[in-house]
Structures are given as structure tokens and as C-alpha cells.
Amino acid sequence: MPEIFGMHDNANITFQKQESDIIISTVLSIQPRETGKGSSGKTPDETVRELAGSILENLPVILSMSEAGSQTFQRDKDGLMDSMATFLGQEMARFNSLLVVMDKTLVELDKAILGFSTMSKELDGMYSCFLNNQVPANWVEVAYPSLKPLSSWVQDLIDRVEFIRDWLKNDKPPSYWLAAFFFPQGFLTAVQ
């Protein structure tokens, strides 16, 4: 029991969740892959290429300071920028880093499936994640925390970037979607 080590009961819940995640990922990793056409009439390669192409096609364009409205990054008489504008710039940088990684790895994955480049361990992991509707680990490393499956996660990313782009172009919104931020705590600090 966690109490023996001076830990809270939630430590046991966390341990059990981690163990369950390991078991589920192990089962998914050893799940047999069909080499021929499956029930959908597509090979795994065709399925992954189609999904990767769809994500790449719908991937938002990098957020650029040149899109900013006239009031978005305006400086005061002392040359200081509003804390909300600073926060927006930081969020833009985080989203841009994620979008660059996604774009690069999606193109690499397509080339590897076609045999034009080597299928690295990272790309093989992406391939498996795409087949299992999971967000690839190389994206999770540079992304915001989320428990959504891949299909919902991609749509969520598109919505988040759209919110940030709207703020960038049209100055501060009348209300803020806190869940859209990489670092909501930074928003709360910027407001104070």
C-alpha cells in the first residue's frame, strides 16, 4: 500500500493506470497486421498513406507575425509590448514548432512507405500509431497535453491554431478559449 511509503492513495491509482497503459500498448504492438487487403479493401500501407496525406493536406499554415493586425503587437510610449501580446507570441512559437515537426515527419513517412527513404524507428512508431488511431510519440514530445485519439487530436489542433490565428489577425478576442493554449498558466500570469 502507498501509505507504507508515506504516499497518498492516488499513487496507487497512478501506478495502476500506468500498468494498464503498458498492457494496452503491448497488446496493440503485437496485434497481427494484415499483409493483404483488409476488410476495408486497403493494405496497411495504403491506410497510413491516406491518413498521412489527409492530415498533411489539412495541416494549418505556420503562424506568421506578418499576419498580425495593426493593434496585436502594438507597443506603448515606453516601447513595451502588452503582456498578452508577449503570451500570444510564445504560443505562436510553440504551435509553429509542432506544425513544423508534423509537416516534416508526415513527408518522411510517406517517402519511407514508398521505399524512397529508410523507415527509421521513429517513422515505424508513427506508422503503428496511425494504424491504432494514436498520436505519435514524436508529436507528443512537442505538443500540448491531450488524451484524445489521433483523429480527434488533429481536428483539435486545427481548431486551436484557428483560434490563435484569429487572435493574431483581429487583436484580443472578447473571450479566451483557455484549453486552446499550450501553457494556460502563462495566460493567467499575463492577465494579472
For 155-188, the DSSP string reads HHHHHHHHHHHHHHHHSS-SS--GGG-S-HHHHH
CATH for 45-70+78-191, among 1.20.1270.280, 3.90.170.10, 3.40.50.300, 1.10.3720.10?
Answer: 1.20.1270.280
Beta bridge partners of 75: 81
| % of residues, the chain, pLDDT over 70 | 92
Q: Does 60 score more than 90 pLDDT?
A: yes
Averaged pLDDT for residues 156-169? 94
Domain boundaries, the chain: 45-70+78-191
Is residue 150 within 8 Å of residue 130, measured between CB atoms?
yes
Averaged pLDDT for residues 56-63? 95
Predicted local distance difference test score (pLDDT) of residue 147: 87
* Distance between CA atoms of residues 93 and 69, nearest Å: 17
pLDDT tens digits along 133-150: 899 999 999 999 898 999
Is residue 85 within 8 Å of residue 73, measured between CB atoms?
yes
* Distance between CA atoms of residues 109 and 123, nearest Å: 6
Work out the pLDDT band at 191, boundaries 50, 70, 90.
low
